[in-house]
Chain A
Amino acid sequence: MLAVENKTSLIWETLQKVADPEIPVISVVDMGMITQVELLCPSCVRIQMTPTFVGCPAISYLQDQIERAIKALGFLRVEVNVDFSTAWTSNRITEKGLQLLKGFRLSPPKRHNGEVTMESLQEAECPNCGSHNTSLNTPFGPTLCRALHFCYDCNQAFEQFKPV
């Protein structure tokens, strides 16, 4: 039997393999969605998850995927709760996560001081050529977390992960 610390780190490692279905390159951990992992008994775990968008349709799918992944480690009871006590903001995405988004050709959200201004919503770096000579085409894209921009240097439309 593993010690408590080892079990907890095993759980975190496993969560690194559970991905957001809409952006499959980034895990729920790098997305900043996991706020707490608690061992309630030797074989029971409680995980707190804060959703990126309140209306995100992937929430129950992710709860299910997390439960399966952790149960596969041998835990008998796995509780995955949606919890708003820690509000998700794009600042919660890890540095590694930002790089993964960029690799996926999604312009990563800029870090902010807690309040995103109306002006800053409209700025994005082109993930193809790195230019800042871009404009917001529409604040709504293929998923709730993406906006559509245009780059005047490489003349291409691109998607941005919204800063919130």
Chain B
Amino acid sequence: MDLLKEFLYKVADDELILGHRNSEWTGLGPMLEEDIAFSSMAQDKIGHANALYNILYIELGEQQPDQIAFGRKEKDFKCCHLVEMPNGEYDFSLIRHFLFDHSELLRYTLLEQSSFAPLAQLAKKIKGELKYHVLHGDTWIKKLGKANEESHARMQSALNEAWPLALGIFEEGPYEVELISQGIFVGEATLKEQWLVSVSTILELANLKIPVNIEASLGGRRGYHTEHLAPLLKEMTEVFSLDPNAEW
């Protein structure tokens, strides 16, 4: 039971926090289509988080989704550092979206085979939606990686900054061995291997180089976060905290 909870919290928290970051582009995107793209991806990701929290609530006896999303302390969140980082310039937001969403599409594709049926069913559905996210990310990475000198330099520098954070996606939790042996998930190592192949293909087409000998930014999966998560949570939970029992 604990291992399922641990795993679901980790996957769902990534979705919620990145969904929130994506939503920060609403009204500020560099052009209308991109404003809508990040806002739509925000809506999808927060919807995915909600569906996963709902599994925790219905199947595993945790609190209601809103309580889970808005009522927990910073250390209870199991998201990776990549999703916590501020949006920065558009180059960083695009690279983060590209790196994370490739891992996400592969994760749900692998989860279609999960022995935990509610998760396998949901994964099948979410996978179809994520293809649009990956298509969006790939399109921009390929365009901007090659457009001109400035765009190339900016994308490369954003990639250098995001790479160690992205490696943190695959930080193993305390129940990794059990998750694998019980057929719930094939494991972070396998996911990382597939992800490397998948992002390398696009980065190569974009003329972007993966930085070498980089150490992963770890700790998020154990509740140790960057300085950026607490202010995000404060803002995200501001209205909820005014009256946690309000009916909406």
Interface residues of A (CB under 8 A from B): 53-57, 84-85, 87-89, 116, 118, 121-122, 137-142, 144, 147-148, 162, 164
Task: List the interface of chain B (C-beta within 8 A of A).
Answer: 33, 36-37, 39-41, 43-48, 50-51, 118, 121-122, 124-126, 128-129, 131-132, 134-136, 138
Q: When the two chains form their complex, are residues B125 and A88 in contact, meaning their CB atoms are under 8 A apart?
A: yes
Question: A118 and B131: CB pair below 8 A?
Answer: yes
Residues of B contacting A55 in the complex (Cβ-Cβ under 8 angstroms): 43-48, 50, 129
Question: Contact partner of A140 among B40, B46, B48, B122, CB < 8 A?
Answer: B40
- List, in ascending order, chain A residues with CB within 8 A of B39's CB: 140
- Nearest residue (CB) in A for B43 is A55
Determine how close the nearest CB of chain A comes to the CB of B165; give it in whole angstroms.
25
For B128, give its contact among A122, A138, A147, A164 (CB under 8 Å): A164
Q: Is A84 in contact with B128, judged by CB distance below 8 angstroms?
A: no
**B interface majority secondary structure:** helix
Interchain Cβ contacts within 8 Å, total number: 75
Q: Are B132 and A148 in contact (CB under 8 A)?
A: no
Instruction: Give 23 pairs: A residue, B residue, CB < 8 Å, sorted on A.
Output: A54-B44, A54-B50, A54-B126, A54-B129, A55-B45, A55-B46, A55-B50, A84-B51, A84-B122, A116-B131, A122-B135, A138-B36, A138-B136, A139-B37, A139-B135, A140-B33, A140-B39, A140-B40, A140-B136, A141-B40, A144-B129, A148-B33, A164-B128
A-B complex: 6 closest residue pairs judged by Cβ atoms:
A55-B47, A140-B40, A164-B128, A87-B125, A138-B33, A140-B37
Which secondary structure dominates where chain A touches chain B?
loop
B128:A144 contact, CB within 8 angstroms: no
The listed residue (B41, B44, B118, B121) touching A87 by CB distance below 8 A is B121
Residues of A within 8 Å of B44, CB to CB, are 53-55, 144
A87 and B128 CA atoms in complex are apart in Å by 10
Alpha-carbon distance between A55 and B52 when the two chains are bound, in angstroms: 11
CB-based contact A144/B40 at 8 Å: yes
Which residues from chain B contact A88 at a C-beta distance below 8 Å?
125
Pair B125/A84 contact, Cβ less than 8 Å: yes
Which residue of A has the minimal Cβ distance to B46?
A55
State in angstroms the CA–CA spacing of A88 and B51 once bound together: 15
Distance A142 CA – B35 CA, assembled complex (angstroms) = 11
Q: How far is the CB of B111 from chain A (nearest CB, A)?
A: 13
Q: Which among A85, A116, A137 is the interface contact of B33 at CB below 8 angstroms?
A: A137
Which residues does chain A contribute within 8 Å of B45, judged by CB atoms? 55
> What 18 new A-B contacts, CB under 8 Å, besides A84-B125, A121-B131?
A54-B44, A54-B47, A54-B122, A54-B129, A55-B47, A84-B122, A85-B121, A88-B125, A116-B131, A118-B138, A138-B36, A138-B136, A139-B132, A139-B135, A140-B41, A147-B132, A162-B132, A164-B129
